[in-house]
Structures are given as structure tokens and as C-alpha cells.
Amino acid sequence: MLESYVCAMTDSAGGCERIASTPIPYAYAVHIKQMLALYLATLPFVLVPKMGLVAVFAVASITFGLVGIEEAGGGDREPLRG
């Protein structure tokens, strides 16, 4: 019984190693950055008519959050390496 758990854990660790060693293709990374920039560039045109001056703070907050997430995810290409 214990041996089956160890085998399952070893298989899972092997899968994690494959994921960790697979790089994100450069084209995907560039595409994500371009689409994020396009979204954030057009966001004020949608929010300002609906929210007025409060949209400035909303756009700044949304930009800060999304760019932060993108940088956090893109900055560490090998998350499982020491």
C-alpha cells in the first residue's frame, strides 16, 4: 500500500519536473504583453464616459494589478529551481 503512494508521488514529481523545464515560447510571452498593453490602452476610453474622474483611479489600480501580475509571472521563468 505504501509503495503505491510512493510510486504515485514519484510520477507526480516527474510531471512537475517536465513542467518546470519547459520554457514558455517567446512568441507567447510577446503576445501576452502586446494584448495587455492594448487592453490597458483602450480601458480609459470605456471607463471615463461611464465613471467620470473616478475612472483615473480605477484605471491606475487595474493597470498596477495586471502589470504586477504579468511581471511576477514573467520574471521567474524557473519557479521550482532554488
- Answering whether pTM is above 0.75, one says no
User: Which residue, chain included where needed, has cell 471615463?
Assistant: 48
Q: What would the pLDDT profile of 33-70 be if each residue is shown by its tens digit? A: 999 999 999 999 999 999 999 999 999 999 999 999 98
User: What is the total residue count of the chain?
Assistant: 82
CB 40 within 8 A of CB 66: yes
CB 47 within 8 A of CB 55: yes
Residue 46 in grid coordinates: 470605456
- For the chain, give the mean pLDDT: 87
